[in-house]
Amino acid sequence: MPERSQASLLGLHISPSSGIPIYRQLMDQIIRLVASEILPVGSELPSVRNLAKQLTVNPMTISKAYSALEMQGVLTRVRGKGMIISENTSPQLDLTQRVEQLDNTIAKLALEARQLNVSKAQLLEYLDKKIPKN
């Protein structure tokens, strides 16, 4: 039978002093594992109790991370068994709607550039160099 993931293998870890909530730290790490396909579709995650024990936190904290990821469509719950990685979901928003969610960060970037006397052209050129292709 296929092995359920060990937390140690997945490298899941928390930094209690970081100020970032534990459940959110875990969500971020799992999202990266899924995005990089280290966790492929269909693979199982560590059980809440197992992971909670290794990280010395409450199982409900793990459950909260898993549940949030389930709502985001990243994971699927299998009754009595555990959580597995979902099929890839296609984005439900159209391009315009998605791109608008970047407005705050873009405004911040534009402001910082202005304060540094970096022109629009210089900024766009740098962005072109800096952003990875896809």
Partner DNA sequence: ATTACTGTATTATTTGAATAATACACTAAT
Partner DNA sequence: ATTAGTGTATTATTCAAATAATACAGTAAT
DSSP assignments along 37-74, one per residue: TSS-TTPBPPPHHHHHHHHTS-HHHHHHHHHHHHHTTS
If you compute the radius of gyration of the chain from its CA atoms, what whole number of angstroms results? 19
Residue 13 binds which entry of DNA, a second copy, none, CB below 5-8 Å type-dependent: none
**39 binding DNA? (CB under 7 A):** no
Of 80 and 91, CB closest to a second copy: 91
User: Strand, helix or coil at 68?
Assistant: helix
Residues 18, 28, 58, 81: which binds a second copy (CB under 8 A)?
28
Residues 4, 10, 31, 63: which binds a second copy (CB under 8 A)?
31
User: Which residue do the tokens 């202005």 mark?
Assistant: 114
Give the span between the Cα atoms of 18 and 90, in whole angstroms.
33
**49 binding DNA? (CB under 7 A):** yes
Site string for a second copy, 75-104 (x = CB under 8 A): -----------x-xxxx-x-x--xx-xxxx
For residues 13 and 51, is the Cβ–Cβ distance under 8 A?
no
DSSP state of 76: E
State how far Cα 122 lies from the chain centre.
31
Site string for DNA, 62-101 (x = CB under 7 A): -xx-xx--x------x-xxxxx------------------
Residues 42, 73, 78, 81: which binds a second copy (CB under 8 A)?
73
Interacting residue ranges for DNA, rule: CB under 7 A: 4, 19, 21-24, 45-50, 57-61, 63-64, 66-67, 70, 77, 79-83
